Chains A and B, each alone.
Chain A
């Protein structure tokens, strides 16, 4: 059974490559990225275990590294790559396979791939580096095998357990919020080293970091993710009995994860299909809060976009991300991280950057439904302008709130109007470029809500290239804004309102040029737009 599943996985991978050269390039890049890192890790582990001068660091580093590895295996597939839908247990449930056969088969198939290969490479380094002579060797080998199993099985178990929840729309919403929250948490954890390095000088820092790492390791070795690593460390040091105990724990952990996976598979197999969301009151197209929108093409497009921003999980996550970034930054300043310069209020408009990224692919969420736009002959200008209007309606309150919050924290109230004008200007620039990019290189967003950070699937190389160029152009066009403000701030602060108005004119001009160009292109390229957005995203 295991062999059969491995062959299935290999066939799927091979056929995936056959779908197009962009898949081949993606795989090659993935391999080129992951494998050298794995080799480096292997070399690092070998050195760690064999060199005497690193001996006291070895246990700590190994523990931390393997904990990160385990966590990565658990979380990254969920956050970054979604469920491996080619091995979706739901597709196999009609086959007369016992759950045990399924687990064995899927585990074998999950061990095939670039990720598992890279992990195995890195773990080989651990084996080479930490294997002592004698009985300890067997323990180390077993522990490494257990570590690999924990990664693979734990990852699949978690994914399967969540898959049922992720299939219902409510579950996806919860996942969307958690993912956004997790993203922010990770990003802010990344700030910790900065905070740490703010204290003391270089020598003290190094020692302080090491002490922190040792404390962390002391805690982490008790978590399940650290049991296999502890077994390796103890065996390498010659303490066989503790090593054996840790190893037993790790093996039991593997068994427990497998059992969890079995149960999750059973639940998935007999669980309900995705049940539709609850009934809403039948609201009119125009949300009441924006009832002032005109009832024409642009207004209707704006209303629809607003509804979509809330109802499509991927867009909602992006919106939440923007809000959380804004809130996080405001809180950080208020709490006193960094200096309290009133001019910080001018940083508020930068939050529009994240929304502007999404505008590079405005039709992504509409997917194949754009045929309705093409067949109605309404022209792309109204639709794009409507989307931009929706963006402005969403971002203006956010920028305003953020400016006010920062002003309250830093006392820079005089900068608030300037910040709002700058925000509008930045939006104008983002949308101007984004509109053109959206009609030149549209990419459909995947239907599945399991991978909420996926904003494109199966995009061709040319499409990605255009998006990259558009992104660069967006940045370049922002330079005059930054330059103008910097000049005004440094040379003659009284000129700041003038700079703001100038920047607003610049932003409006870029927006109008971009919109007209996009409208002409979009109208001429209707069928191509539909074709690009109807491409299957799996």
Chain B
């Protein structure tokens, strides 16, 4: 699937990352169209997180280039980062602050004027349902609340492209619905959402464009219908990575019996 240059929300060329003897990302070429809900799927260890970290400036690639809306992330980091919002998988935040303090801090950190920061902070806390948590430090938040406040941090500066790594992992359905609504609104306003997941049903429900990664390589890329064909995305994925036979089931005869 071809994405015209300049029309890509992000593009990587020949991206490569090697850890010792393990190749995490193997000369990846990938592009996502603007305004899309782009899903990167693959099993654990496929290189999704590594790729996202290299595109957002958190991990230095061994080779290759990464661009966000045509701006090279490593050559012109300031401009690129202005357009990027990131929600990583392990949400490490400045958690000895309350939600409001954290948002104020992130906003001021990006050089935004104090009044804009204050106003957007209130709106985000309200929309994401975090106002009841007033006065509680982020370190005491539940997992879902942490993700929501992290999403607020990622959205505060109105980025053009959102990168989310496993955003719905271990999230209760209510928080998940709120997250989805916010992401949809972001997209409706012209933004792009790039998210990685290994939960195929979720990707099927939300995304319009899909990239399938396996062992650091791109296995398939295209619109959702194209990639999954007639079956489900999970079937397509499993056959693409060549793991057709399902293991397990034989043996383990003692499982579930009470003979201890």
Instruction: Assess whether B105 is in contact with A304, with CB atoms less than 8 Å apart.
Output: yes
Determine if A295 is an interface residue (Cβ-Cβ < 8 Å): yes
For the complex, what is the distance from the CA of A300 to the CA of B97, rounded to whole Å?
A: 12
Instruction: Assess whether B97 is in contact with A307, with CB atoms less than 8 Å apart.
Output: yes
> Nearest-CB distance from B229 to chain A (Å)?
37
Q: Pick from B77, B92, B139 the residue with the most CB of A within 10 Å.
A: B92
- From the candidates A283, A284, A382, A534, name the one contacting B92 in the complex (CB within 8 A): A534
What's the tally of chain A residues with a CB closer than 8 Å to chain B? 41
> Nearest-CB distance from B149 to chain A (Å)?
12
Instruction: Assess whether A369 is in contact with B58, with CB atoms less than 8 Å apart.
Output: no
Instruction: Assess whether A368 is in contact with B90, with CB atoms less than 8 Å apart.
Output: yes
Q: Which residues of A contact B155 (CB under 8 A)?
A: none
Q: Pick from B77, B93, B94, B135 the residue with the most CB of A within 10 Å.
A: B94
Instruction: Assess whether A375 is in contact with B58, with CB atoms less than 8 Å apart.
Output: yes
Q: Which residues of B contact A282 (CB under 8 A)?
A: 98, 100, 134-135
Chain B contact patch, size range: 35 or more
Instruction: Assess whether A312 is in contact with B136, with CB atoms less than 8 Å apart.
Output: no
For the complex, what is the distance from the CA of A312 to the CA of B82, rounded to whole Å?
A: 30
Instruction: Assess whether B77 is in contact with A377, with CB atoms less than 8 Å apart.
Output: yes
Task: Name the residue on B nearest A365 (C-beta).
Answer: B96
Instruction: Assess whether B108 is in contact with A299, with CB atoms less than 8 Å apart.
Output: yes
Interface stretch, picked from A6-14, A272-280, A404-412, A460-468, is: A272-280
Instruction: Assess whether B134 is in contact with A527, with CB atoms less than 8 Å apart.
Output: no
For the complex, what is the distance from the CA of A297 to the CA of B104, rounded to whole Å?
A: 11
- From the candidates B58, B88, B92, B94, name the one contacting A304 in the complex (CB within 8 A): B94
Determine if B14 is an interface residue (Cβ-Cβ < 8 Å): no
Determine if B106 is an interface residue (Cβ-Cβ < 8 Å): yes
Instruction: Assess whether B96 is in contact with A311, with CB atoms less than 8 Å apart.
Output: yes
Instruction: Assess whether A378 is in contact with B96, with CB atoms less than 8 Å apart.
Output: no
* Known contacts A297-B109, A300-B104; A375/B57 CB under 8 A: yes
Determine if B153 is an interface residue (Cβ-Cβ < 8 Å): yes
By DSSP majority rule, is chain A's interface helix, strand, loop, or mixed? helix
Determine if B177 is an interface residue (Cβ-Cβ < 8 Å): no
Q: Which residues of B contact A303 (CB under 8 A)?
A: 105
Q: Which residues of A contact B101 (CB under 8 A)?
A: 283-285, 304, 307
Determine if A454 is an interface residue (Cβ-Cβ < 8 Å): no
For the complex, what is the distance from the CA of A6 to the CA of B151, rounded to whole Å?
A: 46
Q: Which residues of B contact A304 (CB under 8 A)?
A: 94, 97, 101, 105
Task: Name the residue on A nearest B131 (C-beta).
Answer: A282
Determine if B179 is an interface residue (Cβ-Cβ < 8 Å): no
> Nearest-CB distance from B214 to chain A (Å)?
25
Interface residues of A (CB under 8 A from B): 276-277, 279-285, 295-297, 299-301, 303-304, 307-308, 311-312, 366-369, 371-378, 382-383, 526-528, 530-531, 534
Ranked 4 nearest A-B pairs via Cβ: A276-B140, A377-B81, A368-B92, A300-B108
8 contacting pairs across A/B (C-beta < 8 A) = A300-B105, A301-B109, A369-B92, A372-B109, A375-B56, A375-B57, A377-B57, A377-B81
